[in-house]
Structure 1
Amino acid sequence: MKSYSTRAIALLGAALLAASAAACSAGSGTTPGSSPGGDQSLAVGLVAEPASLDFTTTDGAAIPQVLLGNVYNGLVKQDETGKIVPDLAKSWTVSPDRKTYTFTLVDNAKFTNGAAFTAADAVFSINRVKTAWTTSLKSAMDVVSAAKAVSPTELQVTLSAPSNGWLFRMTTRVGAMFSQTGIDKLATDPVGTGPYKFGSWKRGDSIVLQRNDGYWGTKPFFNQVTLKYFKDPTALNNALLTGTINVIGTVQAPEALTQFTSNSKYQVIEGTTNGEVVLSFNNSRPVFKDIRVRQAIRQAIDHKALLDTCFAGRGKLIGSMVPPTDPWYEDLTGVAPYDKAKATAALKAAGAAGATLRLRLPTLPYATSCGQVVKSQLEQVGLKVTIDQLEFPAAWLTTVFKNADYDMSIIAHVEPRDLGAVFNAKYYTRYDDPTLVSLLASADSGDEAAQVDNMKKAARRISEQAAADWLFLLPNLVVADKNLTGLPTNAITESFDLSRLARS
């Protein structure tokens, strides 16, 4: 049996020690069960408000950004470097055939409705993904053939075949643990075991989380966190400058960063993310069934100029659906280099010169600004582009994501390791490629070396086939009050982890 407990527990211990030190430096109480920051509160400015609080039936990254790791725990989670570490599972072992996982669970966790967390809840949560979830992400649990509570603190999960991706997916929203008696109002009143509990939601404005004083782990510093939503990047910046918020969680106007970097009241953090800003193609449309058209669009875009224009040069050009923090990353920007002449000629050869494409954009600042650049550059090679603005999240999720009523769109896909999720026939990209399916299957079932090799081939495949265009990788740009500690340099999970934040 292969054990993951010792190294993972050491990593978790280091993280808890850091959080404890941050709380101590603020002069807060340190005795068990005390409230670390007293009644101190925090306000975080964000852009994309959730359409619902139920990520079992509603897509979109805005929901787990708020709830995962804050209201909900999983059995396991990722640390900032991408390593899988314990959460509600203290340790786990994997059988020699890589099909049976045995988890030892913490024995002191409770849901905010008072129910104790046990292995039976884990079985319920895993099975419910298969029976009650309606989002496309539920397929991550298809490989599970059985989940069994051996005892209240021991869980056994058996897979139908070895899967490199299953345990990793358990660090995402798919692995969230639910109360068997707390699922009646998931969309408006989520119940979890996390460091925070849901407080209130003023739609169109803010979500309030309250510290869970019955939390089984190290209690967070702040007793209340307000997540405030801004559609306008200037308003978001002004909210920090005027003290309305304490953190800009996702900077949307990087060209305005100088007003913070030159002010000693603030700190600016820049790292990396999983957020591939994708110019998506509706591959079910006749015009996109011709690879020459897809490749021409990629070559028509001057990605460096686009990045400089619509995101102040911040971010990274990647050329496919893999960020540098993944083990199989390769720089694939050379697959489709900028070449206006070749793009123009290819469109003429395909009979697509003068074709009109409908670019349907979510009302998100990066999409709006980058969309104008895409329109301009594509029209320079002979295409006509019309832009529609769709309110985000509701209108965009319904029109583009659910109904695939679009030709092109621009959206940041921030879910980790989502190449296979995004590029398949059932997703809004409508990308149907048996070769890609085979590569992804081989990557999931093989050993570590085979996984890396096949994932590299899969990334190159979608790049060479021009399944979409990858405009750039979003940077993690955070601006905050100078005395705020615990902010992550990299944002490579679905969660905005509030539990580590404190004041010095």
Structure 2
Amino acid sequence: MLIRTTAALALLTTTAMAQQTDITIGMQLEPPNLDPTGGAAAAIDEVVYANLFEGLTRFGPDGSVQPALAQSWDVSDDGTVWTFALHNGVTFHDGSAMDADDVVFSLDRARADDSTNAQKALFDGIESVEAVDPATVKITLSAPNGNLGFNLAWGDAVIVAPETAETNATMPVGTGPFRFGQWVQGDRVDLTAYDAYWGDAPALTDATFKFVSDPNAAFAAMMAGDIDAFPNFPAPETLSNFAADPRFTVIVGSTEGETILGINNVAIPDVKVRQAIAHAIDRQAVIDGAMFGYGTPIGTHFAPHNPDYVDLTGQSAYDPAKAKALLEEAGATDLTLRLMLPPPVYARRGGEIIASQLREVGIETEISNLEWAQWLEQVFRGKDFDLTIVSHTEPADINIYARPDYYFQYDNADFQNLMERIETTTDAGERTAMLQQAQQVIADDAVNAYLFQLAKTGVADARIDGLWENAPTQANDLTGVSWSE
């Protein structure tokens, strides 16, 4: 009897453990809103991408472009007409049907003159979007663009409903496998599995995104089991502690995050001064001091794992003497610059290191530590800064340098023309050559000081399967995540 009771209890315990279907994900930054079509913060997509909102296409964990709401697509011989076949039976989380009219609305809204989409340039080449029938959408381009499927995979291109588009910032309604539960501002966002999801049901039934800005608090929360996984862990100096503990898995991968010392090119128009700033920075010292060795030095705005990458780190190598000489040539020997730092560890810790390095060549800095909302308002939108540190986590986004109104305000007509040619070129060899030329141009102009490619350093409960190792886009995709015992 005792044996039977013990065995029964063991079976019940094992079953209970095996049935865990909820998860708590740690994030350092809280999103300013939950609408990926109306905000630039990476934290928005980290909550909602593939979980709550979906586009016609999506990025897979290996960076490939995969079908999403569109089950397939055809491209005309001249490359200007893309026809997408939509999945049938798709509904929004309010129960309303998603069809071709919603796709037309979403893409027309994203590319409209008054669009607030942070990546509006993704849709520039679209001439028209037409609902052929409820399950078919035709997109006509002004010129061939082999990157359209890639562009439509961004979080900024998700499909929304006309009835709920204006309230998605606080009450998001999408088509994904999880629906919105609640947002306790300053604390967490809760999602729940959507029972009427059109695709494969996720293994998880509930997901909480918990916001922990302090690295020490993040470490304590993981150790206590209050957080199950922290995909972008903010305290890399403690990773060895987790690696030595069998309760945890340390996940180290790559990201699309080009981490830069952003320079306001209107406030600092002299290329010699910008070059001096770049030569004053010891990249490896920043990586070692701020990221405890996790990161890959870069010399331009391009990911080293991209096959079209050019290693230009030598062009702006650490050379304090050269930095001083360039400042002398520019007549900028008594320079004080405002350095605005957002909350991430790479920015706050890196900022102190870079400020010290700049001081060594005669450039003083006035550091302001900004909260994320402040940084978005003052730096990103207001362009009221001299220097800043930020990681650009959008995939293959060198095209931002063709936008004179972008926050670092680089205006080069030749570069803009080059990017236009890249967009319309389908020959792979020609595209590679032009992308490498583009990397060289912005390095020559020292538009920004290029620091390192952000590593993806995550910590998770060892029983969790399916978390992304790499980050081809800014996402905590939970669609394939499950618990094992």
Shorter-chain TM-score: what band? Answer: over 0.9
Say if 2:91 is the partner of 1:114.
no
Distance 2:155 2:58 in 1: 10
Give the counterpart letter for 2:131 in structure 1.
Answer: A
Choose which of 179, 186, 189 in structure 2 pairs with 1:207. 189
Distance 1:38 1:124, change over 3 A: farther
What displacement does 1:422 show? 4.8
Alignment deviations for residues 68-122 of structure 1 (CA, whole Å, 9 cap, x no partner): 2110111111212222111111111111111000111111211111111211211
Matching residue within 343, 365, 374 for 1:395: 374
Which runs of structure 2 are paired with 1:339-488 in the superposition (5 Å)? 339-392=319-372, 394-422=373-401, 424-447=403-426, 448-488=428-468
Following the alignment from structure 1 to structure 2, what is the Cα–Cα distance between the partners of residues 446 and 423? 17
Structure 1 residue aligned with 2:137, among 124, 137, 155? 155
- Aligned CA RMSD, in angstroms, stands at 1.6
2:339–2:367 Cα contact (<8 Å) kept: yes
In the alignment, which residue of structure 2 is the partner of 1:335? Answer: 315
Show the counterpart of 1:18. Answer: none
CA distance in 1, matches of 2:39, 2:303: 25
Asked if structure 1 preserves the Cα contact closer than 8 Å seen for 2:80 and 2:142, the reply is yes
How far did 1:206 drift? 0.5
How many residues in Structure 1 have an aligned counterpart in Structure 2?
A: 468
Equivalent runs, 1:23-102 vs 2, <5 Å: 40-102=21-83
Deviation for aligned residue 1:496? 1.4
CA distance in 1 between partners of 2:418 and 2:137 (Å): 31
**Which range is displaced more, 124-133 or 272-281?**
124-133
**Cross-structure match for 1:282:** 264
Name which of 113, 123, 133 aligns with 2:104.
123
TM-score between both structures, scaled by the size of structure 1: 0.90
**Structure 2 unaligned residues grouped into runs of 5+:** 1-13
Q: What displacement does 1:39 show?
A: 6.4
Q: Residue 230 of structure 2 corresponds to which residue in structure 1?
A: 248
Paired AA for residue 147 in structure 1? V
Q: 1:422 to 1:54 in 2, by over 3 A?
A: farther
Deviation at 1:354, TM superposition (A): 2.0
Q: Pick which of 125-134 and 142-151 moved more.
A: 125-134
| Aligned match for 1:146, one of 128, 131, 135 | 128
Q: Kindly state the Cα deviation for residue 238 of structure 1 after the two structures are TM-superposed.
A: 1.0
Question: Alignment partner of 2:167: what SS?
Answer: coil
Distance 1:80 1:170, change over 3 A: same
Q: Distance in 2 between matches of 1:387 and 1:221?
A: 46
- 1:290-314 residue CA offsets vs partner (Å, 9 max, x unmatched): 1111111111111111111111010
1:38, distance to aligned residue in structure 2 (A): 5.8
Report the residue type matching 2:447 in the other structure. Answer: A
> Are the counterparts in 1 of residues 38 and 118 from structure 2 also a CA contact under 8 Å?
no
Whole-Å separation in 1 of the counterparts to 2:155 and 2:461: 29
Contact 1:360 1:409 in 2 (8 A): yes
| Residue of structure 1 equivalent to 2:5 | none
Instruction: For 1:72 and 1:55, locate their aligned partners in 2 and report how far apart those are by CA, in whole Å.
Output: 8
Counterpart residue identity of residue 411, structure 1? V
Offset of residue 471 of structure 1: 1.1
Shift of 1:139: 2.4
- Counterpart residue number, 1:177: 159
Q: Which runs of 5+ in 1 are unaligned?
A: 1-26, 29-36
Change in Cα spacing, 1:208 to 1:366, as seen in structure 2 (3 Å) is same
Q: Do 2:182 and 2:191's aligned partners in 1 also have CA atoms closer than 8 Å?
A: yes
Q: Does the 8 A contact of 1:276 with 1:323 survive in 2?
A: yes
Deviating more after overlay: 72-81 vs 257-266 = 72-81
Give 1:497's aligned residue.
477
1:307 is the counterpart of 2:287: yes
- Mean Cα deviation higher: 269-278 or 324-333: 324-333
Percent identity (aligned)? 36
1:192 aligns with 2:171: no
Q: Per the alignment, in what secondary structure is the counterpart of residue 313 of structure 2?
A: coil
8 Å contact kept, 1:436–1:458: yes
CA distance in 2: counterparts of 1:54 and 1:73, whole angstroms: 12
Letter in 2 for 1:340: P
Please tell me the residue identity of whatever aligns with 2:469.
Answer: T
* Runs of at least 4 residues off by over 4 Å: none
Deviation at 1:130, TM superposition (A): 2.0
- The answer (yes or no) to whether the contact 1:237–1:248 under 8 Å persists in 2 is no
TM-aligned CA deviation for residue 363 of structure 1: 2.1
Matched with 2:205 is 223
Q: 2:303 aligns with which of 315, 319, 323?
A: 323
2-structure distance, mates of 1:42, 1:175: 27
The answer on whether the counterparts of 2:37 and 2:118 sit within 8 Å (CA) in structure 1 is: no
What CA distance in whole angstroms lies between the structure 2 residues aligned with 1:158 and 1:423? 23
Aligned partner of 2:248 in structure 1 is: 266
Give deviations 1:364-419, integer Å, cap 9, x for gaps.
22210000010000000111111011111x11111111111100000111011111
Q: Is contact 1:178–1:192 with CA below 8 Å preserved after alignment?
A: yes
Is the CA contact 1:39–1:223 (under 8 Å) kept in the aligned structure 2?
no
> What is the distance in 2 between the residues matched to 1:187 and 1:57?
8
Amino acid at match of 2:205: N
- Give 2:215's aligned residue: 233
